[in-house]
Structure 1
Amino acid sequence: MKKRSEAEHSSSDKLTIERLMGLGGQSARKSHYPELVAKLEELEEERNRYKSIFEHAQHGIFQARLDSGLIAANPALAKICGYTDPQQLCNRVDSFANGLLFDPDEYPLLLQKLKLYGKLFGYETRLLRQDGSAVDVSLNVLLKTDDQDSLIEAFVADITERKKAQNKLKKLNEELEQRIEGRTGELVSLNQKLVCEINERSLIEQALKVARDTAEQANKSKDKYLAAASHDLLQPLNAARLLVSTLQERELAEENNHLVERIHMALEGAEELLSDLLDISRLDQKAVQPDLTSIPLDYLFRMLQVEFQPVAEQRSVSLRVLSSSLNIRTDMRLLMRVLRNFLSNAFRYTPAGRVVLGTRRRGDFLELQVWDTGPGIPEDKLEDIFREFQQIDHQYQTGRKGVGLGLAIVERIAGMLEHPISVSSEPGKGTMFSVLVPISTDPVQPMLQPQRLPQQDLSGHPILVIDNEPDILVSMQALLKQWDCEVCVATDADEAIESYLSKGVKPQLILADFHLNNGITGVEAVDQVRQYAGYDIPAAIITADRSPEGRKLFREWQLPVLNKPVKPGKLRALISHLLHLSEKADGSRTDES
């Protein structure tokens, strides 16, 4: 039987614990006991869940002291290391360095990294199996510290299959390299045999190669020569054309007028030949790139009508244009070249009657047709007309005879645009040329409709001409003075400013060549003169340059262009148009002020 003091002491301790747990009395114990039991059950379930995860994890998991053996390991790690159960593994492993790592010398480096970073992820090493072999693994290791010492907790993934795959791939690569080396040797041997065979027949083949290369080089040289020489050839031709036009507008003796007209026709023929040769050369070199846009067909047809109506009136031939409200997708400049050629040929070979420009819808395409009532083309000659320098001689041919390159150019342009062309003819009744273009549903910008403006009186208008060719300056000065213009000529912008603008001359128009001296362009010269003058003087570029880069630059600066050789009629029309726009702008500014 306990002594009273001991009983009292025991009872006192029990009461103290009960008070600390919140069970100070009978009623307290009854109220908190269910919660405590529930909490203990919850903790037990949580422990069992983590235990289940630990025991059934696919990857190995272990915990170890730095200087002693394993504290805990799961079955997956035991299986990786070749043990039947985790307890057997823990009993065999003295420490992480001795008994678990296959190479104990690796432990100092691993420990150094752990202490530096506190953790390692994807660390590849080898663990020691029960049978003394090694197994490749990837470790995720954490270094922790508790009351006793530092702990290592690690997750282990067996990467044996991955290593095997890597080794297999390496072996396959080595075998492949050996096979490639062997095959290369075979190919070298075969190539040597082939070289021997080729050398045996080299005499004949070399002769053929030299002949072919000579022909190709000659063709390339022709194209390059035409492209390079075109500018220099067109410059004197342009000067002569302007001078002849000046003489045509003067009152001369009848026999002199006849000679001037013959000179004019000769120059026109040379101009057409050079232009056609240049176009053929640029098309063959693929220097022309189409700029496909959506354009209204009615706008294109009206431009052609304005251009060819005077020709129809001069030849006493009726011109009828049947347009359409549809839009087409094409390069307007190149398509205009095709249709101009069709119309020019129609008027050339139609002494009387009519020429019709019309359309027919073909599904998603429009067939643009040019009909004439001329003598027609024999069926056996329909294919020949698209060859270079091929023409059909007709007794009814009117005007100057062509050079036979127009339809060859048309065929190349049509092929580049992917617009099929066709021709049909009935001798004695007429001919129809056509080109097939796709219909466009894309929106287009509204365009000003072309119209024939009355010729403007140019008397007294100061015009500045900038060109680095003295002959061109002389010719332009003679022609513009013939139109009673006040002409200022200069070889560059500096000379124009020094000789005219600095002395109070205010030109109303600038006509500038594109290629000037010292690499300066006419666009730069126009800009320099405008800056000095302090206002935007209307300007145009006159050039033999037909490159896409040049056209893009002129569009950016909104400068109209005339290609050399310049036709006086187009030059006067352009001057009248620019001066008319300038006067309208000045008038609107005056009204606003």
Structure 2
Amino acid sequence: MANLMPVPRNEKPQPETSLLQRIETLEADNERLRKICDALIVRVESGAAHKPEPYAAFEHSVVLAEQVRERTEALSQAMEELRDSNKALNRAREEEETTRQRLSDAIESIADGFVLFDNCHQLIQSNSRFRSYWRYAGVEIPAPGTDIDTVWQLALTSGLIVEEHREPDSDGVVLLLSNDRWVQMTERPTREGGLVVLYSDITDVKNSEMARRIKALEESERWVRVVTDHVPALIAYVGADLSIQFCNQVYEAWYGLNGESPLGKRLEHVHSEELYQRLLPQMLEALAGYNVNFEFEEMDGQGQVRHMMRSYVANFDEQGDVIGFFVLIRDITERRKTALALEQAYDDLECRIEERTSALTEVNSQLRQEISERASAEARLQEAKQEAEKANLSKTKFLAAVSHDLLQPLNAARLFTSALLEQSFGPKAEGLVHSVSTSLDDVESLLGTLVDISKLDAGVIKPDVTAFDLRDLLNNIARECQQMAIAENLTLDFVASSAIVESDSQLLARILRNFLTNAIRYTSSGRILLGCRRQAGHVVLQVWDTGPGIPQDKLSEIFQEFKRIRPDGSRPDKGLGLGLAIVDKIARMLGHEITVSSIEGKGSMFSVRVPLGKLRPRREVTEKTLRVVADQGLGGARIWVIDNDHAICEGMRVLLEGWDCQVTGATSLAELERQLDPVVSPVDLILADYHLDNDETGVDAVASINQRRKHPVPVVMITANYTNELKQHIRELGYVLMNKPVKPLKLRSTLNHMISGHARVRC
């Protein structure tokens, strides 16, 4: 009875197959129940042997009727559910049909060829564009269920696909179909493992690309033809079948018969039979992959024999196979003629050389004799030149060596004159003394110049390059020249500078003093300027004046020895013309650049370019800046003077006593010891000459004194020796160095500075 239970109403409809099976089961059960019911009724009515009681029969019939009713209701309910299921199935079929139609419409609307394969890669559906490819090729369209490999092989074997290749920058395959259309095939997998294949038409893109390539090739071919047509050689390209695939105008004009181009023809039809057979071995060698070069004689269009240089260069494809060769033919007839002419000329020249050689041999013997005589004369001239140079050098060294002796009397005269200038005489006597002082100044200047130029030529003066501050040097030079400028009614302006430079301070000062002296000497009115300009790594020291100027063609002459330029309106010059020559020699020695510029009638500018430096710690005692204290007396300072020249000792005594000093003079240390006891006698300063008699020096004398005293005495060493070795030695000893001839004003400034800076030594 369980199979006869009705189906619950809230049970969801089963799929179409299960509903049909259930309906069939219910109908079978219903049929069996009707048969049972009919059998029972017949049995009751027939009055069998064991006939039930009437009531029992009625009751049984009622039960059967109830069961029939229940089964009938269940059957009705099943039939209702079946009708609902049929309606749902019909709606599903309609939706499926609609979806299929929409899919077909969508596939048909695609402009590209479309093919859909299932997860077994069997064809399910395709659009009309895909089927049109097959119809155009006259091939049967693959039916649904055909696998993808069969479809591909059928397309290849039927001729539908003419060409296949892969693009380098694309995932798809590009195909050329039998309808001359290019398509790009791309594959995409579906979610359930199937495959979608699209065939996109790229014919327009291919045609555009092909057009661009053709245009580029045509442009390249045009340029190649332009170039080759202007080359004076025969150029061609021959294919593997020995046909001419390219040639320039020269080649075409040479081998074109009756104006007909040889392009596209085989060489056997272009050349004569005899020429073709002569060239065939070399052409076969080029087709074998070798490069061939050979000379060849052939006739031109006018029947003349020409010498041709032929070159065959093999052309290989990507697989390394020879697909042709390049031809380059050059006409070397004129070159051959020139070579023959040169060969003939060479033979003639050899004959002429042999003739001339015999003549030259005789001339050479005569020349050798003349050369020997000239060599002897040159040797004598060289000896004379060397003797002259030795004499000049000897003269130069002599002047440099005797500078001390020359300056000794001048120094004494300067001291005596300075002492006289400080005395009170009558106007006439004072005028004479001033005249003598002026004359001594001129003599000192001329003699100092001669000595300086001699020392520079002899190489006695060596630069002592150190780093120092320009401030003191420029201040001292400006003060020295200030009085000279005022005496000439000129204005000297000075722009100070604290730059640190690398140079020899004394030699650099000599250059600047010469510039300023010349500016004062040649400027009659106006002003003079001393200043500095900084440049990259250098300082340029400049002296400007408002003098008459120097002609442009004379600017290079002013640095020559004994060369003086006398501008119009300038004062008479008492010099020797050696000042700028000395400046030039000093600048070359120091490696400094000297420049001069001038405008006639407006003035001149002289400059020296000095490199910047950096101060370094120094152990030696440096000479302090000497300051003139004109109104300050030396206050009875005790000074010892040691000089081997008695006149200088006397002149120094007179000069110093005029400055209120107590002076003891001696020509040697022994004479000084006879006058006093150097160990205990009070003294404030020692003035010593470097060169004394009997190979004794002032340094030795001062050292002997200071070694025996409790406190060393300050020393001023006076000398006419300008060497760097001596200057460095004096500095290391801690002494102050002054060069002869001593200028009284500078001497007084030095004494004031040194005595005021040290406590006076009494013992």
Is the TM value for this pair above 0.5?
yes
| Mapped partners of 1:448, 1:347: distance in 2 | 28
Alignment correspondent of 1:540 = 716
CA shift, 1:343, in A, is 1.2
Letter aligned with residue 258 of structure 1: G
Q: How does 1:431-580 map to 2 (within 5 A)?
A: 431-441=604-614, 451-501=627-677, 505-580=681-756
Q: What is aligned with 1:341? A: 514
CA–CA distance in structure 2, aligned partners of residues 397 and 476 of structure 1: 38
Question: Relative to structure 1, is the Cα distance of residues 449 and 261 closer, same or farther in structure 2, using a 3 angstrom cutoff?
Answer: closer
Aligned equivalent of 1:320: 493
SS of corresponding position for 1:561: strand
**Pairing 1:92-171 to 2, within 5 Å after superposition:** none
> How far does residue 400 in structure 1 lie from its aligned partner after superposition?
7.3
Of 603, 615, 619 in structure 2, the residue corresponding to residue 430 of structure 1 is 603
Secondary structure at the counterpart of residue 265 of structure 1: helix
d(CA) in 2 for partners of 1:450, 1:479:
19
Q: Distance in 1 between matches of 2:498 and 2:409?
A: 44
The verdict on how the C-alpha distance between 1:326 and 1:474 changes in structure 2, with shifts beyond 3 A counting, is closer
Query: For 2:615 and 2:690, how far apart are their aligned partners in 1?
Result: 34
User: Shift of residue 456 of structure 1?
Assistant: 2.6
Q: Percent identity?
A: 44
Contact 2:716 2:737 in 1 (8 A): yes
| Alpha-carbon shift at residue 477 of structure 1 (Å) | 1.7
Shift of 1:534: 2.6
Q: How does 1:3-42 map to 2 (within 5 A)?
A: none
Give the superposition deviation at 1:544. 0.8
1:308 paired with 2:484, answer no
Task: Write the distance in 1 (CA, Å) between the matches of 2:428 and 2:572.
Answer: 20
Counterpart code for 1:218? A
2:467 to 271, 294, 297: 294
CA distance in 1, matches of 2:639, 2:503: 37
The aligned length equals 394
Q: 1:449 to 1:281 in 2, by over 3 A?
A: closer
Deviations 1:272-308 (A, max 9, x none): 2222222212222222222222223334322323333
Bigger-Rg structure (1/2): 2
> Deviations 1:476-498 (Å, cap 9, x if unpaired)?
12222222322111122232133
- 2:658 aligned partner, one-letter code: Q
State the match for 2:333 in structure 1.
none
1:145-224 correspondence runs (5 A) = 199-224=372-397
Contact 2:548 2:568 survives alignment (8 Å): no
Secondary structure of the residue aligned to 1:371 is strand
**Partner residue in 2 for 1:358:** 531
Equivalent-residue separation in structure 1 for 2:577 and 2:587 (angstroms):
17
Distance 2:415 2:745 in 1: 11
1:373 to 546, 552, 574: 546
Q: How far is 1:579 from its partner?
A: 1.2
3-state secondary structure, aligned to 2:612: strand
Cα gap change, 1:232 to 1:420, in 2 (>3 Å): same
Partner SS, residue 494 of structure 1:
helix
Amino acid at match of 1:373: T
Which residue of 394, 406, 409 maps to 1:236?
Answer: 409
Question: 1:198 and 1:225, CA in 2 relative to 1: closer, same or farther beyond 3 A?
Answer: farther
Aligned to 2:400: 227
Aligned to 1:294, the other structure's residue is in SS state strand
Q: 1:475 to 1:421 in 2, by over 3 A?
A: same
1:402 is paired with a residue whose SS is coil
In structure 2, the partner of 1:139 is: none
The 5 Å alignment of 1:279-290 reads: 279-290=452-463
Q: CA deviation at 1:412?
A: 0.5
1:503 Cα offset (Å): 10
**Structural RMSD (CA):** 2.9
Report the CA distance between 1:464 and its aligned residue. Answer: 0.8
1:38-53 matches, within 5 Å, as none
Counterparts of 1:388 and 1:502, CA distance in 2: 49
Post-superposition shift, 1:210? 3.6
**C-alpha distance in structure 2 between counterparts of 1:545 and 1:275, whole Å:** 12
Q: Which position in structure 2 is the counterpart of 1:411?
A: 584
Equivalent residue letter for 1:525: A
Q: Structure 1 CA distance, aligned partners of 2:405 and 2:623?
A: 36
- What is the SS of the residue equivalent to 1:540? strand
Structure 1 residue 361: Cα displacement = 2.8
Q: Could you tell me how far 1:545 is from its partner in structure 2? A: 1.2
The one-letter amino acid of 2:464's match is D
In 2, distance between residues paired with 1:535 and 1:423?
A: 52
| TM-score relative to the length of structure 1 | 0.61
AA matched with 1:475: G
CA distance in 2, matches of 1:453, 1:485: 15
Q: Secondary structure at the match of 1:515?
A: coil
What secondary structure, in the 3-state scheme, does the structure 2 residue paired with 1:227 have? helix
What is the letter of the counterpart of residue 382 of structure 2? K
Matched AA of 1:214: E
Instruction: Look up the match of 1:250.
Output: 423
Displacement of 1:384: 2.0
SS of residue paired to 2:694: helix
Say whether the 8 Å CA contact 2:626–2:749 is kept in structure 1: no
Q: Which has the higher contact order (CA 8 A, sep 6+)?
A: 1
Q: Distance in 2 between matches of 1:511 and 1:215?
A: 42
CA contact (8 A) 2:679 2:705 kept: no
Q: Give the whole-Å Cα distance in 1 for the aligned partners of 2:585 and 2:599.
A: 25
Report the 3-state secondary structure (helix = DSSP H, G, I; strand = E; otherwise coil) of the residue aligned with 1:385.
Answer: coil
Which moved further from structure 2: 270-279 or 233-242?
Answer: 270-279
Query: In the alignment, which residue of structure 2 is the partner of 1:392?
Result: 565
Compute the displacement of 1:443 (Å): 5.1
1:392–1:534 distance in 2 versus 1, CA, 3 Å: same
- Secondary structure in 1 matching 2:641: strand
Shift of 1:501: 2.6
Q: Is the 8 A contact 1:497 1:532 kept in 2?
A: no
After the TM superposition, which of the residue ranges 390-399 and 315-324 deviates more from structure 2?
Answer: 390-399
Q: Deviations over 1:96-140 (max 9, x none)?
A: xxxxxxxxxxxxxxxxxxxxxxxxxxxxxxxxxxxxxxxxxxxxx
Shift of 1:451: 4.7
Counterparts in 2 of 1:521 and 1:197: CA distance versus 1, 3 Å: same
Whichever residue aligns with residue 528 of structure 1, its letter is S
1:448 CA drift (Å): 6.1
How far apart in 2 are the matches of 1:506 and 1:498? Answer: 15
- Structure-1 separation of matches of 2:626 and 2:750: 13
2:544 is paired with a residue whose SS is strand
Once residues 629 and 462 of structure 2 are traced to their aligned partners in structure 1, the CA distance between those partners, rounded to angstroms, is 33
